[in-house]
Amino acid sequence: MKDFAGKTAFITGGASGIGYSMAQAFLREGMNVMLSDIEEDALGKAVDRLGATNAQVRTVVCDVAVREAVNEAAARTIEEFGNVHIVCNNAGVGAGGPFGEIDPADWDWTIAVDQWGVVYGIEAFLPHMKAHGEDGHIINTASMAGMVGLPNMSPYCAAKFAVVAMTETLHSELAETNIGVSVLCPGFVRTRIHESGRTRQSKYGGPRERMLEGPDSEEGDVASLVNSGIDPDAVAGRVLECIRDDELYIFTHPDTWEWLSERFGRIESAFKSAAVSPALRGEG
């Protein structure tokens, strides 16, 4: 997708962080933007910052963990702007802890928002995008935690690995169409992911102060890493580059290649071990 002017983008988790920065980037390109978020007050403040008289921006409150809510948000976006061209399944939360100590509700909440929220977003918009036939792009926000498993972050990693896998599958399925697909895998970005428990729905136990522990099992350490991360505006700029270039993987932290190279090295060693396995050769 090369031409953005006059086109429409739908963004979940759009009231702050990466979602808000993507909205700014798309608006600068002359797009219409529907901001979606579970926090109504935050949506109002986001619109105020973007400019209350800006006719290109609309908002819709949406809990991405509820299929019907996402469908309703999609219908409202289409009613408001017509054809939708870019869909950013960006809303995300984080929960973790050591295996055996994780509250089952933490698993349910994280998978519902981070994984099912992406599924619902794709299901809600893909038939519409195929039907109108214009150039489009779907961006699913994962994480480097979707590329490398990290201690004390099992629910978050599991959901983000799923997002990567689903995006790779969708990319293959749409390879012969004019709908691009990308998965965003950032490292630490200055967002409020470590405070995502503030929006936790009642059916998952309600708001919590401490949710994402991270590798060091100390929320303060995770907060420091997040707060010292890169600017979300830089991430949004990278997203635009990758939409234009139709890149499947959107990485924002080149230094984290070391994480992947270590993982790939272990995988390569495992394949080499399998190649000389007596059991596999029927000798065991």
pTM over 0.95: no
Please tell me the predicted confidence (pLDDT) of residue 265.
Answer: 96
More reliable by pLDDT, 267 or 210: 267
Residue 237 CA to residue 253 CA, distance in Å, equals: 13
Residues marked active site are found at 156
Q: Is the pLDDT of residue 215 over 50?
A: no
Average pLDDT over residues 189-195: 66
Looking at the chain, the whole-number percentage of residues with pLDDT higher than 90 is 76
Report, as an integer, the average pLDDT of 239-262. 95
Region 205-233 average pLDDT: 65
Other beta carbons within 10 Å of 280: 11
Q: Each residue of 84-98: b (16+ CB within 10 Å) or e?
A: bbbbbbbbbbbbbbe
What is the mean pLDDT of the segment spanning 25-43? Answer: 95
Q: Please give the residue that has the higher pLDDT: either 145 or 211.
A: 145
Q: Is the confidence at residue 217, as pLDDT, over 80?
A: no
- 249-251: strand order across its sheet: 57-61, 32-37, 8-12, 86-89, 136-141, 179-185, 249-251
Confidence (pLDDT) at 170: 98
Domain 8-252 has CATH 3.40.50.720: yes
C-alpha distance from residue 86 to each of 1, 11, 40, 198 (Å): 9, 8, 22, 28
pLDDT at 164 over 90: yes
Give the integer Cα–Cα distance in Å for 126 and 29: 23
d(CA 135, CA 218): 44
